[in-house]
Amino acid sequence: MNRTILCSFIIVALLLTSSLAVPGAFASKGPRDIVAHPPIHIKRFSGISPSGYGPQTIWTAYGFNNLGCTHTTTTDWTDPSLCGHDQTIAIVDAYDDPNIASDLQTFDSQYGLPSCPAGSCFVKVEPQGTPKTNSGWALEISLDVEWAHSIAPGAKIILIEAANSNLGNLLSAVDTAVGQGAQQVSMSWGGSEFSSESSYDYHFNSATTSFFASSGDSGSGIEYPAASPYVISVGGTTLNVDSSGNYVSESAWSGSGGGVSAYELKPSYQNNFQPYAGRAIPDVAYDGDPNTGVAVYDSVPYFGQSGWFEVGGTSVGAPQWAGISAIANSGNAKLASASFGTSSAFYGAASGAESSPQTLPYITNYHDITTGSNGNCGSICNAGPGYDEVTGVGSPQSNNLIPYITPTPIPDFTISSNPSSLTVNAGGSGSSTMTISSINGFSGTVNLAVTSPSALTATLSTSSVSVSSTNPGSATLTISAASNAGGTYSVAVTGTSGTLTHSTTVTVTVPTVPSSPQNLVATAGNNQVSLTWNPPASDGGSPITGYNVYRNGTEIATNIASTSYTDTGLTNGDTDTYQVTAVNAVGQSQPSNSASATPVATPTLNVVVTTDKASYQQGSQAHITVTVTGPAPISGASVTLTVTTSSGGTSQGTGTTNSNGQVTFTYHILKHASLGTYTASATATKSGYISGSGSTTFSVT
C-alpha cells in the first residue's frame, strides 16, 4: 500500500512539472532564459527486480530481432557483428549521475547485453565542470544510456553532462557531443518555444551527426529543440505486445507532445505530409506510455527509492531512435542532419503515406498509428492514417526500415602495395607486392597495368589476378633503376575490372650524392680559422656520413661529423680559401661556396692605472682612472679595479671604458683607515683581445 501511494505521488509530481509549450508565451526570451525538463514518467518502483518491457521485448516488437546484426555476443562490445558497431552515440543531459557506469553494468548483466566498460565503451564528459547531482535527471540519464546501449550495443556511448538544465548550457553540451565525434545525439529534454529559436538551429545542422529529441509531454504543445527542422522529434505511443513480445497494436499516448511550431517554417521533407505552414512535430513515434513502460535501473535515490523502475514518456524513444540511426550508419547509411539528410531518409521511407497510407513502402517500414489522442486541442491532437501531429509517420518496423534507408553496398576492390616505398641503387633493382582485396563481396578478374618514369623499368609478374570475396589476389612489381638514375620517382599500378578502377603508388628513391653544403662562413683567429656551414638541402636519398674540408683546393680533413671545423697552426697574415663537401654512401657532393679568412695575432689590452694624487689623508676620497688601449683607446672594455690597503684589506669595483678608453672610480678612505701604502690594480677584458692588467700605488697619511 505504501509503495502504491509513493508511485502515484511521483507520477503526479512529474506531470505537474512538465511544461506545456504555448506559442508566444516566451516570445521575447532566448535559450539562456529557458529551463529544459526531461519528459520522463514513472509507472512504478519495483525495487530489486525489473518490471516493464525489457530489451528482448522491444527487440521483438519493433523487429530488431530480424536484422542482420546481433544484440548479443560471446566476445565483447567491439564485436563487429553487434548492431551499431563502429558508431558513437552521445547522450546529452543535465546535472550529474555519479553511478551511471555501474548502473549500466547492472542493466547489461540483467539482460545479457555486452558489457560497456567505462573508459572505452562508455565515457562521461563534463565540459562545464562537474555538475551537482539531481535525482530526477539521474533517472533520465539511466534511461537514456541503458536503452541507447540496448538498441545499439556495438556503439560507443558518450554521456555529455551539462552544468544544469539551462537551455543555453544544454545547447553548448550538444556542440561538445559533435566535437567528440558522435554520429548520433539523443536529447530527452525540451523547453518552451521562443521567437528567435530558428537562429539556434545551427547547433543541429551537422554534416556528420543526426539529432533526436523527445517531442515533450502534457498533450498538445511544441518544445524546442524538437521543433528544429534539423532534429528528429520522437512522440509517444501505447505499445501492446503478446506474451512472446510480438507486436499486437499501438495507439497514441495521451501525454505525447505534438503540434505545429509558431516560429519554425515547414521543412521541405514535410511537403505533402502535413498542410500547415509551420514545422509539425513529432516526426516518428515510439513506446512512451508509462503503463507500457520500460525497465530502468537507477541507484541514485529518487524519493528515497533506488533500484529498478518502470518508466515511460517521450524520453524513452529519443535514445532508441538514435540507436536505430546508429545501426543504419553501421551498415553504410551515412545519416546526418545537414541538408535535412536524416529527416529526408525517414520521411522517404514513409512514401505512400501522403496519399494512400496503406501502400508500400510505408506500411512495411512503419506501424501507422491511427487511434488515440494527445490532448484537447481538436482534430490536430488525434492520430489518424498517415502522418499526424501525435505520432508522426509512426513507429519503426526496424527489420524493414533500417535496410530501406541503408544503401546496398556496391561490390568493389582495393589495391595496395607493400612496401609502398623502396630504395633502389642506380643499376640495381627492388620489388613490392601488389595485393588486390574484395570489398562487399566483389569477385572477378582485375587487370593490372604499370606506369613508370624513363629512369626506371617496372614490370609485373602477371597482368591480371583473380579475386574472390574470401581470397585476395596478388602480383609482384619489380623495379630496376638505370645506371644514371638518381632522385625520387613514383611508379603507379592500376587495377581495372569493368567500370571499377583503383590505383596504388610505389615511391622509389635512387640514392645519389648529396647536394652541396650551404652558407660556409670562415672566421679568422690567432693562427687559426674557424669554419661553420649548413647541411645540404638534399642528402641524395642516403644519409650523410660526414663532411670533407678543403683549404686552397687541398683536402685537409675528412669524415667531419659536425657542421663546424677549426683549422689551426696557420700563419698570421696569410689568406686561406676554404670549401666543404658532403659525403653519403653514394659519394661526395660538389663543393660548397668558397669562404676566405686571414689569421691575425690577437692584440693584448694595455692597462694604465693613475690617481689624481700621490697621497691622501684619512677621511678623504681618491679618484682612480683606468685607461685601456690596444694601442688606440678601447671603448666598451670591462674593467675590474681592486684596492689593497696597507694592512691587507681589499675593496673591489667594476666599470666599462668610455670612448676615450677610460673609466674613473672613486675610492672612499675612512677616517680611521690604516696609514701607509695602498695598491690599485686593474684588469681589463674585451672580446677579440687578450686581457691586460696594470697597477699603481698611493699613500694614506
In the three-class reduction of DSSP (H, G, I as helix; E, B as strand; rest coil), residue 294 is classed as: strand
CA distance 590 to 580: 9
The phi-psi region of residue 196 (left if phi > 0; otherwise alpha if psi is between -120 and 50; otherwise beta) is alpha
Residue with cell 511544441: 222
Q: Report which of 64, 42, 107 is spatially closest to residue 289, judged by C-alpha positions.
A: 42
Do residues 314 and 234 make contact, with C-beta atoms less than 8 angstroms apart? yes
DSSP state of 292: G
Strands 156-162 and 412-418, by their bridges, are: unpaired
Q: What 8-state DSSP symbol labels residue 536?
A: P
> Does residue 270 sit in helix, strand or coil?
helix
- The CATH number of residue 90's host domain is 3.40.50.200
pLDDT digits (tens, 9 = 90+) for 478-506: 999 999 999 999 999 999 999 999 999 99
Q: Could you tell me the sign of the dihedral formed by the alpha carbons of 27, 32, 33, 38, in that order? A: positive
Same domain, 215 and 293: yes
Question: Does residue 495 sit in the same domain as residue 525?
Answer: no
pLDDT at position 9 over 80 = no
Q: C-alpha angle with apex 617: 615 to 623, nearest 5 degrees?
A: 60
The total number of structural domains in the chain stands at 4
- Shared domain check, 545 and 496: no
Residue-level pLDDT at 11: 33
* Any domain includes 415: no
* Cβ proximity of 157 and 84 under 8 Å: no
281 and 300 belong to one structural domain: yes
Q: Is 413 within a domain?
A: no
**Of 562, 597, 632, which marks where a domain is finished?**
597
pLDDT in tens, 391-434: 999 999 999 999 999 988 889 999 999 999 999 999 999 999 99
Whole-number pLDDT of residue 6: 34
At 404, list the grid cell. 530501406
The answer on 306 and 435 residing in a single domain is no
Range of the domain at 578: 518-597
H or E segment and range at residue 170: helix 167-179
Half-sphere exposure of 391 (CA within 13 A, CB side): 31
CATH of the domain at 451: 2.60.40.2310
**Alpha carbons within 13 A on the beta-carbon side of 623:** 5
CATH number, domain with residue 628 = 2.60.40.1930
Q: Please state which of the ranges 368-377, 407-416, 603-612 shows the lowest mean pLDDT.
A: 368-377
Looking at the structure, tell me whether residues 147 and 208 fall in a common domain.
yes
Count CA atoms within 13 Å of residue 371 on its CB side.
5
**Final residue before a domain boundary, out of 575, 597, 619:** 597
Instruction: Name the pLDDT band for 31 (thresholds 50, 70, 90).
Output: low
Q: What is the pLDDT of residues 427-448, one digit of tens each?
A: 999 999 999 999 989 999 999 9
400 and 525 housed in the same domain: no
Residue 581 has pLDDT above 90, yes or no: yes
CB-CB contact of 257 with 282 (8 Å): yes
Backbone angles phi, psi at 127, to 5 degrees: -65, -20
Q: What's the Cα-to-Cα distance from 443 to each of 114, 416, 499, 587, 657, rounded to whole Å?
A: 34, 17, 14, 50, 89
Q: How many CA atoms lie within 13 A of 412 on its CB side?
A: 9
Whether residues 592 and 673 fall in one domain: no
Indicate the residue among 507, 539, 567 that finishes a domain.
507
pLDDT value at residue 379: 77
pLDDT in tens, 173-205: 999 999 999 999 999 999 999 999 999 999 999
Residues 88 and 172 occupy one common structural domain: yes
At 243 the pLDDT is 95
Q: Which CATH number does the domain housing residue 523 bear?
A: 2.60.40.10
* Residue 409 neighbours by CB distance under 10 Å: 12
**565 and 677, same structural domain?**
no
